[in-house]
Amino acid sequence: MEGMAIGKLRDEGMQMKDAMEMAGGLGKQILSEVSTKIKIQLNGCKYPPKDYLSLHGKISSGSFL
Which pLDDT score, from 0 to 100, does residue 62 have? Answer: 45
Contact (Cβ atoms closer than 8 angstroms) between residue 4 and residue 27: yes
Question: 61 phi and psi, to 5 degrees?
Answer: -65, -20
**How does pLDDT run across 30-62, given as a tens digit for each residue?**
888 988 999 999 999 999 988 878 776 654 444
Residues in CB range of 18: below 8 A, 6 or more apart = 9
Coil, helix or strand for 7? helix
**How does pLDDT run across 1-25, given as a tens digit for each residue?**
888 889 989 999 999 999 888 888 8
